[in-house]
Structure 1
């Protein structure tokens, strides 16, 4: 009798245990099959957003080191920086205040490129210094201008007036040609782009040509009758060719084509990927619009 009771109890316990186990398994299966709650979706969202942000991160491509003069070149490059950054490039600009060091540091391989000069100056520099620098992109043109110093009227220029001009080969010739175009002097036939003050054939006003390093010309405005300034140094002095110059090279002149400012690299580095990206951005509509708005004709994008 006792054995029969015990067997019955055990049977009951086993049945209850079986029911409980099945119930637990059914609830777990049901929970897994049910769709996620709003709270669960909300918890998963940040993880998904983080994944999207990671996939959208800019891939770093490298550094582009450029040597430039201050105005307008470094200012234009500063406008380029954020655009290149979006492409993964870190544009690093070092400002120089002369026309020699920017070429020397590119020739030495310390910089990828420079931005400050035109082709005639580059060609002359290569010949004189034995460097191996090449043009990889035409960017903008800066009209050379004649500005008043102690005198303010070219039509009434005084006898013996002093006129300061840049002393480097191409820019001096350019300045003398501009003076010739405005009836101040006449150059020997054929002097052209290599003219110096020794090539002055006629000097009806007996002007004295004062040759100075280009960066120094603006500093003698108060000491000479007139000065002939490169566009970048005029801007640096707070002057604009179209509004302040007594005469300047027009944007449709041969000078505009000849003296377009360029991006320069050392020969052999023409295929530099970073420099190619730099040139593309400098030629973009966004940067052309920036140049036109900021410089109001004193700097003209090259088309």
Structure 2
């Protein structure tokens, strides 16, 4: 089986496991499936949910605690990219994932021939423009480099944000399908670089401006409200969603997952933890 970029526990947990005696490890391997079966026999429901590191993971940890009080076990699988969580979900190794906005899910499912469905909204992460060199978008110099995500939906979203900031003009009607080839107006002759979304915060050392998804911005220590020099409005069409395999969308356990996610406890956590940088998208 190829290595997949997820983590099954914290580093401290793994380091403790690494110090267990061999006999103990053997017993865990032998008895693990048996204990898991006994837990299932006792009536405990289990659901495996994929997330990306950062805000999505933090919020799902709150959801996990809520569902644990209801006898539902949530196993959180953390990924470092936007591609693998959908592929793993489609293959059946996850029950659901929570990391992407609806336009991305729809485009990804179409491009890869996957039967995935959004069952509920989660969070709104307004995309922002960030820079280590300037304070306003119009301070960019002739020929400066600007980095955007290299995946189709978020790339188009970033180009629309650059257009909203008055930096470029796109061909009429391209909308989210926009690519750098659709730029018809570029008065400062900006060099648009397409990079992996997770790498964009690091690119700030090398480019004049970068369009960064809020989950990656927060993970890198950036505060969108304080640090972004241009930010999408709160009423965005890029609300994130919980996705599942289409044929399983009516599983009763998903209603418990949605109810926990849309709870007042999660809403308070989001508002207090992210101070307005992340917005509950179900209200």
Q: Aligning the two structures, in what range does the TM-score lie when normalised by the shorter sequence?
A: 0.7 to 0.9
Q: Which runs of 4+ in 1 moved over 3 A?
A: 149-153
Give the equivalent residue in structure 1 for 2:109: 126
Give the equivalent residue in structure 1 for 2:128: 145
TM-score (norm 1): 0.78
Query: 2: CA distance between counterparts of 1:169 and 1:279?
Result: 28
- Asked if 1 retains the 8 angstrom alpha-carbon contact of 2:138 and 2:167, the reply is no
Please point out which of 255, 276, 280 is paired with 1:301.
280
TM-score (norm 2): 0.83
Q: Verify: 1:292 aligned to 2:275, yes or no.
A: no
**How far is 1:153 from its partner?**
3.2
Query: 2: CA distance between counterparts of 1:129 and 1:152?
Result: 40
Q: Name structure 1 gaps, 5 residues minimum.
A: 1-58
Give the equivalent residue in structure 2 for 1:162: 145
Please point out which of 161, 166, 173 is paired with 1:183.
166
Query: 2: CA distance between counterparts of 1:282 and 1:165?
Result: 30
Please point out which of 80, 87, 103 is paired with 1:97.
80
Structure-to-structure mapping, 1:1-303, within 5 angstroms: 60-252=43-235, 256=236, 258-302=237-281, 303=283
**How far is 1:60 from its partner?**
3.9
Give the equivalent residue in structure 1 for 2:10: none
- Asked if 2 retains the 8 angstrom alpha-carbon contact of 1:106 and 1:266, the reply is yes
Give the equivalent residue in structure 2 for 1:40: none
Instruction: Report which of the two structures shows the higher radius of gyration computed on alpha carbons.
Output: 1
- Asked if 1 retains the 8 angstrom alpha-carbon contact of 2:136 and 2:229, the reply is yes
**How far is 1:278 from its partner?**
1.0
1:284-303 deviations in Å (ceiling 9; x for gaps): 11111110110011110011
- Asked if 2 retains the 8 angstrom alpha-carbon contact of 1:142 and 1:231, the reply is yes
Query: 2: CA distance between counterparts of 1:118 and 1:60?
Result: 33
SS at match of 2:248: coil
**How far is 1:149 from its partner?**
3.2
Q: Name structure 2 gaps, 5 residues minimum.
A: 1-41
- Asked if 2 retains the 8 angstrom alpha-carbon contact of 1:142 and 1:260, the reply is yes
- Asked if 2 retains the 8 angstrom alpha-carbon contact of 1:60 and 1:89, the reply is no
SS at match of 2:156: helix
Choose between structure 1 and 2: higher helix proportion: 1
Give the equivalent residue in structure 1 for 2:5: none
